[in-house]
Structure 1
Amino acid sequence: MRIYVPATLRMLRRLVADDVLNPLGGTAFALTPALREAYAAGDTDELEYVAMREAARASLRLLAIELVGDQPAWPRRVVVAVDTDAAVPRPDLDDAAVRVTGSIPATAVAAVHIDDPEAEYAVRQAAAVVDAADLGDPDAEFVLGEAEDFELAWYDPSELPFLLELLDL
């Protein structure tokens, strides 16, 4: 099963250093039976894209925590695509939510998706209001939409050390 793990650039640095990814709270997103049922139409690729976008939104929640910390944080959404059979659907959380137990080995990482620099302002703004958007605030949802208008760039896992070095992380 392909799952999408919300992350941050700081988490990617730990992935490269430790060769494992530890999803916060074991939460990830995937094309689950509940997600498939929630959509009247859509092929596998389209529904996996929905799951990836849910992970990107969850990445904003992680960024919201990092951006108020005392260490500098890069305001970019990160989603790590992983192939694993160790994911269990969590429809109590969201149609696309899954729980992953334990660490994910770097060898299971299929791809990494990261915002380009042009998205940083919108992502920083969205991270500040993501909780309000979750609670139904239409103004916050508009700000979130501005960030979600940016597509995430695709990277092969072998590119991560070089990418992080270029970003000076």
Structure 2
Amino acid sequence: MRVYLPCTLPALARAVEAGELGPAPLTGYAVTPALTEWYASGDTEELEYVALTEAARASLRMLAADRADGVAAAPRRVVVAAEVPDGSASSGADLEERARVRLGAAVPMGKVAAVHIDDHYAAADIEAAVGALPASDDGDDDARFTVDGAEAHELMWYATQEIPDLLRSQDGQT
């Protein structure tokens, strides 16, 4: 089963050093029965894109949390795509997040299939979205528009062998 795990560049560096994404439990996003039922007309590729988009939203929140904790993190959303055994992810009944799953074990880096990350040109919009999150959560429509604007940027795909280069670069751009 393909699972999309929200991440940040500092968290990815820690995962590489540890050899796994964790600790468990981990929140991820995948093609769940609830997502398939809700998005009845979509094929597997479209459903995986929905799950990836949900993980990118969660990555934005992780980036904001890192910043609040004083962690220097480049304004890039990061999503790690991993293959986990069927049945290792459990989904809840939350209708707001139909793609959300919970993993009960850490994910070894050897199970990572790819990394998706914002290109450097998205930095200003991602930075603005991080700053607008609190007002957006309070119902401010202008702030919500700013946060939604981050989704206008497609995440770039990187093979696992490119992860060290991503981490070596000062701000996560190649």
Of the structure 1 ranges 86-95 and 155-164, higher mean CA displacement relative to structure 2 is found in 86-95
1:51·1:96 contact (CA, 8 Å) conserved in 2?
yes
Q: How far has the Cα of 1:46 moved from its partner?
A: 0.4
In structure 2, the residue matched to 1:29 is 29
2:84·2:111 contact (CA, 8 Å) conserved in 1?
yes
> Within 2, Cα distance between the matches of 1:87 and 1:168?
32
In structure 2, the residue matched to 1:16 is 16
> Within 1, Cα distance between the matches of 2:14 and 2:143?
31
* Counterpart check, 1:123 vs 2:126: yes
Question: Which of residues 92, 97, 100 in structure 2 aligns to 1:97?
Answer: 100
**Structure 1: tracts of 5 or more residues without a match:** none
In structure 2, the residue matched to 1:88 is 90
Cα deviation 1:45-75 (Å, max 9, x = unaligned): 0011000000000001101111233332111
Question: Which of residues 143, 155, 160 in structure 1 aligns to 2:158?
Answer: 155
Cα deviation 1:84-130 (Å, max 9, x = unaligned): 02211123362000001121100110000011111111111112233
Name the aligned partner's letter for residue 121 of structure 2. E
| Identical columns (%) | 48
In structure 1, the residue matched to 2:57 is 57
> Within 2, Cα distance between the matches of 1:39 and 1:122?
28
SS at match of 1:142: helix
**Structure 2: tracts of 5 or more residues without a match:** none
> Within 1, Cα distance between the matches of 2:74 and 2:153?
16
> Within 1, Cα distance between the matches of 2:110 and 2:38?
32
SS at match of 2:154: coil
In structure 2, the residue matched to 1:108 is 111
1:23–1:150 Cα change, 3 Å: farther
> Within 1, Cα distance between the matches of 2:21 and 2:131?
25
The size of the alignment, in residue pairs, is 169
* Counterpart check, 1:77 vs 2:72: no
Cα deviation 1:125-145 (Å, max 9, x = unaligned): 112233543554322221012
Name the aligned partner's letter for residue 5 of structure 2. V
In structure 1, the residue matched to 2:168 is 165
Of the structure 1 ranges 31-40 and 128-137, higher mean CA displacement relative to structure 2 is found in 128-137
SS at match of 2:82: strand
Name the aligned partner's letter for residue 143 of structure 2. A
Name the aligned partner's letter for residue 12 of structure 1. L
> Within 1, Cα distance between the matches of 2:107 and 2:51?
18
1:49–1:135 Cα change, 3 Å: farther
